[in-house]
Amino acid sequence: MATILDEQSRTFNEYLIIPGYSSSECIPANVSLKTPLVKFSRGEEPALTMNIPMVSAIMQSVSGDRLAVALAMEGGVSFIFGSQSIASQAAMVQRAKSFKAGFVRSDSNVRPDQTLADIVAITASTGHSTIAVTEDGTPEGKLMGLVTSRDYRVSRMDPNTPVHEFMTPMERLIWAPEGTSLREANDIIWDHKLNALPIVSKEGKLCHIVFRKDYDLHKQNPNELLDEHKRYVVGAGINTRDYAERVPALIEAGADVLCIDSSEGFSEWQKRTIDWIRSEYGDRVKVGAGNVVDADGFRYLADCGADFVKVGIGGGSICITRETKGIGRGQATALIDVCKERDKYFEETGVYVPVCSDGGIVYDHHITLALAMGADFVMLGRYFARFDESPTNKISINGTYYKEYWGEGSARARNWQRYDLGGDRKLSFEEGVDSYVPYAGSLKDNVQLTLSKVRSTMCNCGALTIRELQQKAKLTLVSSVSIVEGGAHDVIQKDNTAVLGTK
């Protein structure tokens, strides 16, 4: 007969945190939410560290390039969904990577003999208002001038007007020589009240452009997560089928970290994928794996060389894997089991493999519980799907706004690669649903509110770091009655008085 575990499979909502001693230093402003994203050896620093413990799910309805930028601004990482063509996913990664940088390679360029119509077309397709005019129309050509929205008026000019007649020519431009530091470039921008500063080589060729808006964005987002070139850190999802074609394209596009997107990760398919990446790129390319729900699954993926391991099967709000297949485990129990094995693995090998809790987060405090149980960060789908920056439509139903949200195992997504077990290349049955979630506004406002709750709870435990929280937090199981007791009860809430009056 099957091995039967006597322990009940529990969820986050069955636990509460018991507050501990808080010193006067334990105030939210002093809390650091920095956390490792990828594995590292004892005594070393991880190659990638996040400023907040949040990543977005590898889903069509969640992680596009807009959300990748918005989340990186707050200090987290988005994993752009892989259930699309390789070219379109790589383009998303490239757009997110090029959205902000200290020194930007110009990707909107024209020749002097092109026309206003060409300028309008480029602006419409890219959204860029600053276009470099180079001798040959290439990003590295000899700089002849710049065109900005202040140089032309579409309503009063002939579309066939040559660019050289209305551009700001080189002799009237303020520019800086190659080798100028970012600090020096920003000083020039501020001193001369510029929006853009070209960086030009000794031969007169365009090297980069530094934009004022990048400086402003940095000051507005002190937690933003940047790579060594001052570009946003961006992740991307891959599968265990076309990795040999998809991975090179994503790396070329600039992806900083990859993650194998699979409903169940304790498989030879994941090992083959990681082995191929290691054979082609060594440890230079970072790749997470999963999902697993027990110590054996974690140990297998850690031994395969995964840079982080995702935990969770069937706990997502749109996931029906447990209903259709009868596999999975309560998210809290799975996380506790895996994190114990992670710590044991670290003691044995000296290699720390971060754990990502994926699924089961309903309330903000569940994030704190997941971190206390050992997670290094959480992956969220429904949470991010509600925001302006997710790639789905906002619709009104009976006067209330919602956003569309569907699972990768739904008939709408048909992401067979995520659920494939090596058989026919198709989705044989659904493991996800198509749904709506209440519209919640901007990512920035919501993430900051959520993390203010996390920081406050950490202070209640006397913890100023996630590691301290894991060491100091005390968790208690709660009964169904105490769950009711924890909410508003035995009162008539004011929001409901109007309803009472109509009955």
Residues with active-site annotation = 319, 418
Read off φ and ψ for residue 143, nearest 5 degrees.
Answer: -75, 125
Distances in whole angstroms, Cα of residue 454 to Cα of each of 28, 31, 45, 440, 483 = 9, 10, 24, 19, 20
**Residue 35's Cα: distance from chain center in Å?**
14
Angle of helix 331-349 relative to helix 364-372, nearest 10 degrees? 30
DSSP state letter for 233 = P
The pairing of strands 109-110 and 235-238 is unpaired
Crossing angle for the helix pair 268-281 and 295-304, nearest 10 degrees? Answer: 30
**Letter for the amino acid at 157?**
M
**What backbone phi and psi angles, to 5 degrees, belong to 413?**
-80, -40
Find the angle CA(432)-CA(442)-CA(47) to the nearest 5 degrees: 75
Tokens at residue 437, please? 């979630």
The dihedral over CA atoms of 212, 217, 223, 225, expressed in degrees to the nearest 10, equals -70
- Among positive and negative, which fits the CA dihedral 289, 290, 295, 297? negative
Query: What region, left, alpha or beta, does residue 362 occupy, with left being phi > 0 and alpha being psi -120 to 50 degrees?
Result: alpha
Residues whose CB is less than 8 angstroms from the CB of residue 35 and which lie 6 or more positions away in sequence, other chains included: 49, 50, 52, 53, 354, 376, 377, 466
Radius of gyration in angstroms for the set of CA atoms belonging to the chain, rounded to a whole number? 25
Tell me the helix, strand and coil percentages in the chain, rounded to 5.
35, 20, 45
Query: What's the rounded Cα separation, in Å, for the pair 215 and 225?
Result: 14
Token digits of residue 220: 């507005």
Rounded to whole angstroms, the Cα distance separating 339 from 342 reads 5
